[in-house]
């Protein structure tokens, strides 16, 4: 599929920092890559050989414990970069990335992109800024997991998901992600059973609806107050 340069600029701050000549030079290095839903793009510890720009679909970024438990660090949407840490330091992948939907990417090999960055320092600065934003978001999430109780943590994550993926309807804010109870628990950092109990309490209280993996926020004001409670 042909990539529109203007669309890339709109989707990604990294590509927005490039002039037309730079953008065409990068696109000459890139190739399209597509994967089905629930497909592991790469695993934590693997060699980082390419940078990906997500064009369509959503992916989750996660870590696994020695016991096989998963912690979801973030859910990425179109326009976001994947693999920029390994691209810069040449180290192994720091997390596992799995598609949540059918996804399409723009992929650039590390060796090609590093040569390009050496010649275009402004683009390198934009990449560092994108990485800094990702680290800040991760720090915020780790802080929430460390210091807040379960209802406050879950409320903050649901409100954040509502902001990113929510659609206002007559029923409430429909979160446009299909999340299993296990995935929701992995986002919050608790067991599936724990998050299920809390969701059930809020469904009974009229704050949420949750069926077949679809969450609907029905009372965002009360959920916001829950998010502020320590």
What's the pLDDT tens digit per position in 110-127? 888 888 888 888 777 877
Predicted confidence (pLDDT) at residue 133 exceeds the cutoff of 90: no
Predicted confidence (pLDDT) at residue 181 exceeds the cutoff of 90: no
Residues 6+ positions from 119 with CB-CB distance below 8 Å: none
Who wins on pLDDT, 141 or 20?
20
Q: Name the one residue in this structure whose structure tokens are 């959920």.
A: 223
In angstroms, what CA-CA distances link 170 with 83, 177, 202, 216, 218? 39, 18, 19, 11, 9
Confidence of residue 143 (pLDDT cuts 50, 70, 90): low
What's the pLDDT tens digit per position in 39-66? 999 998 888 888 898 999 999 988 887 6
Q: What is the pTM of this model?
A: 0.68
What does DSSP assign to residue 4?
P
Residues making up the chain, counted from first to last: 230
Q: Name the one residue in this structure whose structure tokens are 């438990």.
A: 69
């Amino acid at each position: 599929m042909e990539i529109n340069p203007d669309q890339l600029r709109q989707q990604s701050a990294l590509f927005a920092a490039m002039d037309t000549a730079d953008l065409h030079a990068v696109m000459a290095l890139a190739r399209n890559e597509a994967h089905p839903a629930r497909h592991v793009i790469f695993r934590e510890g693997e060699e980082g050989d390419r940078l990906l720009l997500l064009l369509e679909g959503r992916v989750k970024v996660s870590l696994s414990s020695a016991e096989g438990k998963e912690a979801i660090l973030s859910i990425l949407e179109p326009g976001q970069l994947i693999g920029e840490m390994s691209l810069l330091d040449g180290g192994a992948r720091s997390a596992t990335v799995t598609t949540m939907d059918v996804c399409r990417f723009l992929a650039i090999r590390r060796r090609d992109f590093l040569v390009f960055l050496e010649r275009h320092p402004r683009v390198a600065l934009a990449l560092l800024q994108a990485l800094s934003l990702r680290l800040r978001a991760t720090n915020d999430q780790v802080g929430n997991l460390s210091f807040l109780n379960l209802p406050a943590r879950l409320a903050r994550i649901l409100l954040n998901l509502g902001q990113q993926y929510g659609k206002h309807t007559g029923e409430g804010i429909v979160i446009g992600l299909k999340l299993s109870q296990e995935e929701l628990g992995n986002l919050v950092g608790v067991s599936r059973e724990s998050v299920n109990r809390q969701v059930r309490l809020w469904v009974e209280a009229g704050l949420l609806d949750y069926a077949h993996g679809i969450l609907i926020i029905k009372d965002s004001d009360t959920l916001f107050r829950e998010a502020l409670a320590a």
